[in-house]
Amino acid sequence: MEFFQSIDWMQMLRCFVVGGLICIIGQILIDKTKLTPARILVIFVTTGCVLGGLGLYQYLVDFAGCGATVPLTGFGNLLAKGAIEEIGKSGLLGAFIGGTKAAAGGISAAVFFGYIASLISKPKMKKQ
Amino acid sequence: MKPIETKKEYQDYVDKKSPNSPIIKNCFNAFWVGGLICSIGQLIFDFCKFRGLDVQTSNTIVSIILIGIAAFLTGLNLFNKIGKFAGAGSLVPITGFANSIVSPAMEYKSEGYVMGVGGKMFTVAGPVLVFGISASIIVGIVYLIFNTASITLV
Amino acid sequence: MEKLGKQTVKFNNPVTILQTASIVGPKEADGPLAQYFDNCLEDEFWGEKTWEKAESKIIKETVNSVIAKSNLSNSDFDYCFAGDLLNQCISSSFGLRELNIPFLGIFGACSTFVEAMCLASVFLEGGAGNNAICAASSHFCSAEKQFRFPLELGNQRPQSAQWTVTGSGAAILSKNGSGPFITNATFGKIVDMGIKDSNNMGAAMAPAALDTLLTHFKDTGRNPSYYDAIITGDLGHVGKEILIELAQTKGYNIKSNYNDCGVLIFNQATQDTHSGGSGCGCCASVFSGYLYKMLQEKKYKKILLMATGALTNATSAQQGESIPGIAHAVSIEI
């Protein structure tokens, strides 16, 4: 209960709106261009990476929290931020370590859950 | 209508004849589902912060949990229905990344665990990692060049 | 048999379509033609472990069922012409490997079924045998896997996309019989009008359909009203509209007696199949199920069956190639 009282609902609203708006950009790309899902994901991750490298994406993260970190642009930002932070610690080597290190949790989780899902489940026909 | 002779004319004609996606409806669905997924992430994040974890750890936990939920829904054959309804709303958040790894893993199970699941797992999401990681390395190197003072080379 | 014009063969002792059989998947069974199919499956796997095995089983059982219905035995057949959409036509060659009938695997994308009928008619009339089987199959899931995305990927299909039919149709062509006869076959040319969007196959195939249609009329001296029905393979809703308009510009009005198997097999409003059905199994099952019964009941006396194919694959699409189309036509008359 104490936790629910601690939630900043304005923050939640900003998160909802910004996250939704980023998805709208993706939807317009889907409907207006003939890009495949893989290409759209690549565009988002690369954009996030560049904005992150320029330090601009952090403003959006500060404003919207998970509304900016959960979309794939946030994943790109995470990679760029990780690389830059690690450079501070270990120089050039950091550029190669930092990005993947920062994103390791997400990547490993996706691989692991993908493997588990393939063990226990099989594809089924779309009914609709 | 005039007879169509050239490929250009035909392409223009086809563009005119082909039905458009209901973009307003799609954008609306993408907006609220995408926003909702981010808000669930925010809730998890707030909870982690509430329990005294730092920002970076909290973000990682958010990613892992959302990826786990997406993988679980994909395994239950439900995610494609959500994706069909929400479009970019479920594709653009990290859930779409998870789905694009889990769905080929399931699909290619019939080709065996090593070459099927293992080999084909990244057919859709592979490019995200290739371009994301490459871009982060380039960003890092560029950063290094512009902040020459910090060059220590290992 | 004699050659009419540039691309049409006229059969003087036409072969009979002795018997047909069809098996379709659960989604097709929800469609408007469900009652005409011999067997509607409960699930897409049909007890098999993979989509590919399921598709093989579908074509195998369809062929077995058409042989059983005809009261002939396997040794009475001289040829089997069959094909499907999967690479190297594995559904038909794996499904029919125990058939013990000389097998000619063919690929014409979704035009395969009519291509098989054209070839079998020429073979039989030429004296190369007495009975032949023509069959084709497709499976939604195996086609999605090969041409598009994993089934569980949460993506949206564009409105112009077509839905690959899960199903198979088989027909027995025989020198002995009392009709319906295959009286003419028009072999189509490859036509490519530069469409690259693999989610708009109807538009890619429509120019090929137009070319074959006009050639057929020119070669035979017939006009659209000669036929009770002109049926294309799987142009879908988008391609159907395009073909009607293109034919109009060339001075042929086909609007009143023209339809499309991809349009017939699904209910666009309730089944969410967007532009309609496609795949080798679409034309094959709709002809073997619905149209053949219409001919038997004499509701149609003369039809022009023209199957269309998009001769593309996943690699050519990724390399930015456009989609060549093809269409083959047979006139079927009682």
Chains that touch C (3 or more CB pairs under 8 A): A, B
- CA B102/CA B74 separation, integer angstroms: 7
Residues of chain C with pLDDT > 70: what percent? 100
Tokens of C332: 């079927």
The pLDDT assigned to B4 comes to 87
Query: Which of C43, C86, C90, C152 to substitute to test the interface with B, most B CBs within 10 Å?
Result: C152
Per-position pLDDT tens, chain B of length 154? 778 889 999 999 999 999 888 999 999 999 999 999 999 999 999 999 999 999 999 999 999 999 999 999 999 999 999 999 999 999 999 999 999 999 999 999 999 999 999 999 999 999 999 999 999 999 999 998 887 654 444 4
Total of domains in chain B: 1
CA C270 vs. chain centroid, Å, equals 24
pLDDT(A114) > 80: yes
Question: What pLDDT is attached to residue B154?
Answer: 41
Average pLDDT over residues C26-49: 94
Beta carbons within 8 Å of B22's beta carbon, 6+ residues apart: none
Going by their DSSP bridges, the two strands C8-24 and C181-186 should be labelled as: antiparallel
Beta-carbon separation of A117 and B102 below 8 A: yes
**Contact between C152 and B7 using a beta-carbon 8 Å cutoff:** no
Of B3, B21, B74, the CB nearest to C249: B3
Q: What is the pLDDT of residues C250-260, one digit of tens each?
A: 999 999 999 99
Distance in Å, alpha carbon of A114 to nearest chain B alpha carbon: 4
| Separation between Cα atoms, residue C71 and residue C131, nearest integer Å | 12
Of C257, C232, C241, C197, which Cα lies nearest the Cα of C309?
Answer: C232
- Is B101 within a domain? yes
CA distance from start to end of chain B: 70
CA angle C310, A127, C170 (to 5 degrees): 45
Burial of residue C3, with CB atoms counted within 10 A of its CB: 0-12 exposed, 13-18 middle, 19 or more buried: exposed
Residue C197 to residue A124, Cβ atoms within 8 A: no
In a domain, B154, yes or no: no
Res. A17 pLDDT band, cuts 50 70 90: very high
Give me the domains of chain C, ranges plus CATH numbers: 2-174 (3.40.47.40), 181-333 (3.40.47.40)
C151 touches chain B (CB under 8 A): yes
Give the distance from CA A51 to its chain's centroid: 13
CA distance A61 to A72: 13
pLDDT 10s digits, C205-257: 999 999 999 999 999 999 999 999 999 999 999 999 999 999 999 999 999 99
Task: Classify residue B50: in a domain, yes or no.
Answer: yes
- pLDDT greater than 90 at residue A109: yes
Which pLDDT does position A126 carry in this prediction? 56
Q: Is the pLDDT of residue A44 over 50?
A: yes
DSSP 8-class letter at B85: H
3-class SS at C154?
Answer: coil
Report CB contact under 8 Å: B110, C49: yes
Nearest one of A72, A81, A78, A69 to A39, comparing CA atoms: A72
Of C156, B56, C324, B130, nearest in space to A31 by CA = C156
Contacts of B126 (CB under 8 A, 6+ apart): none
Between CA C17 and CA C187 the distance in angstroms is: 19
CA-based nearest residue in chain C for residue B70: C154
C152 vs A: CB within 8 A:
yes
Which residue is associated with the tokens 């609306």? Answer: B28
Whether residue C249 and residue B87 make contact (CB cut-off 8 A), yes or no, is no
Q: Which residue of B has its CA nearest to A38?
A: B124
Question: In this structure, is residue B13 part of a structural domain?
Answer: no
Structure tokens at B41: 């992430």
Contact (CB<8Å) C152/A123:
yes
Residue B55 located in a structural domain: yes
CA distance B88 to B106: 22
Q: What is the mean pLDDT of residues C295-311?
A: 95
Alpha-carbon gap, residue C214 to C53, rounded angstroms: 39
- In tens, the pLDDT along C125-145 reads 999 999 999 999 999 999 999
Residue B75 included in any domain: yes
Answer whether A37 sits within 8 Å of C152, measured CB to CB: no
Phi/psi of residue C19, each to 5°? -160, 150
Q: What are the CA-CA distances from residue C102 to residues B32, B83, C15, C96 (Å)?
A: 59, 46, 19, 10
**Using the beta-carbon criterion (under 8 Å), do B132 and A122 form an inter-chain contact?**
no
Closest listed residue to residue A86, CA positions, set C171, C9, B150 = B150
In a domain, residue B83? The reply is yes
pLDDT 10s digits, C113-124 = 999 999 999 999
Rounded CA-CA distance B71/B63 in Å is 12
- Residues of chain B in contact with residue A14, where contact means CB-CB under 8 angstroms, are none
Instruction: Give the pLDDT of residue A128.
Output: 46
- Kindly state whether C282 is in contact with chain B, defined as any CB-CB distance less than 8 angstroms: no
Q: Which of C155, C193, C200 sits opposite B83 (nearest CB)?
A: C155
Give the pLDDT of residue B148: 63
The whole-number pLDDT of residue B149 equals 56
In a domain, B133, yes or no: no
For residue B66, what are the domain limits? 26-123
Q: Looking up tokens 């083959």, which residue turns up?
A: C328
Subunit partners of chain A (3 or more CB pairs within 8 A): B, C
Using a CB-CB distance cutoff of 8 angstroms, which residues of chain A are in contact with residue B42?
A: 11-12, 15, 65-67
